[in-house]
Homo-oligomer: A and B are copies of this chain.
């Protein structure tokens, strides 16, 4: 599929990732947003729900109505919750369209793991076909896929940070501890007391501590691929009083023989050609505000020789590189567009 221009649809456009897809696509020279669905807001222009889109986004939300709707676009982004996604995806594929699914439904290759952390899977046969949509690792497979499982926000920040180390066995795989912090947009736009302004503002807290966050198996799956062996990590998410951004601070014990220079070389080798990974050096450290609104993943590391540990830090915008931006990056690969098309905006700071 190498068209000059495609028509796309967003299934579940009324959440934050849906709105972000609309924002990014509005400046994409090769994609037209033709369809947007929202059960709750059917009949309303998307720009009514998200006033920031006024004047540039014309699409009107409609209900998911099956084949007729699927006929109106070449590629669909599924921006609905897990479980809802797997109910819709087979129909879209059956209509001969491509799908980039932002939910968790097709990320885990092992259906047993999926069902342990989520619920029964209604189309496990698609798991083998789905490609994990992290372009920096699976660029070639994405290009030919029908179904891309867009990675979770935390996993994106963690896997990119660790990939060069695990591939080279530069750290002891069983010593990995991930202390991750996310902005509140990751919790979505559903009304709930826990994410009211007054509950989050001027505060900070951990949540789902001790192997209970559903991104744990996704992280472990991909790190295992990189390491060539199964492994288990400690992963602790925290909630930041800001809208966009994930910063992961990752600790691991260095394997013998690795030092600052060899590690630097590993990162350069893996990422120096990557358009969206920025390696920081000279003591510069990642910060969420320096990637806000962009598709960048900023990475730095430090070595604590006293303890023999490496500390890797990565920052992304959770709804861009952690969701909608990465989804468009995947769309670009799927469609044979230049990978950075529509994604070259610089971060918004301050």
Contacts and interface: CB of A to CB of B under 8 A. Distances in A.
A52 interface: yes
A306 B206 contact: no
B285 A349 contact: no
Nearest to A199: B350
20 contacts: A19-B349, A27-B345, A51-B284, A52-B289, A52-B291, A52-B347, A179-B249, A196-B196, A197-B241, A198-B350, A199-B289, A201-B201, A202-B242, A202-B245, A202-B350, A204-B245, A205-B247, A234-B251, A234-B304, A236-B249
A344 interface: yes
A8 to B, nearest CB: 16
A195 B53 CA distance: 20
A56 interface: yes
A203 B181 CA distance: 11
Interface string A183-215: 011000111110111111111111101110000
B195 A196 contact: yes
Contacts of A234: 251, 304, 307, 309, 311
A319 to B, nearest CB: 8
A5 interface: no
B240 A204 contact: yes
Given A203-B245, A203-B287, A243-B201, A191 B193 contact: yes
A189 B198 contact: yes
Given A198-B184, A234-B307, A251-B177, A209 B350 contact: no
A313 interface: yes
B52 A243 contact: no
Given A209-B313, A244-B350, 4 more contacts: A184-B196, A185-B350, A201-B202, A202-B292
A205 B346 contact: no
Given A50-B349, A202-B289, A348-B23, A184 B197 contact: yes
A16 interface: yes
B203 A197 contact: no
A288 interface: yes
A196 to B, nearest CB: 5
A50 to B, nearest CB: 7
A239 to B, nearest CB: 9
A238 interface: yes
Query: By CB atoms of chain B within 10 A, which of A192, A202, A244, A284 has the most?
Result: A202
Nearest to A211: B304
Contact of A192 (B191, B204, B284): B191
Contacts of A313: 206, 209
A119 to B, nearest CB: 21
A77 interface: no
Interface string A168-186: 0000001001010100110
Contacts of A264: none
A173 to B, nearest CB: 11
A54 interface: yes
Contact of A303 (B190, B193, B210): B210
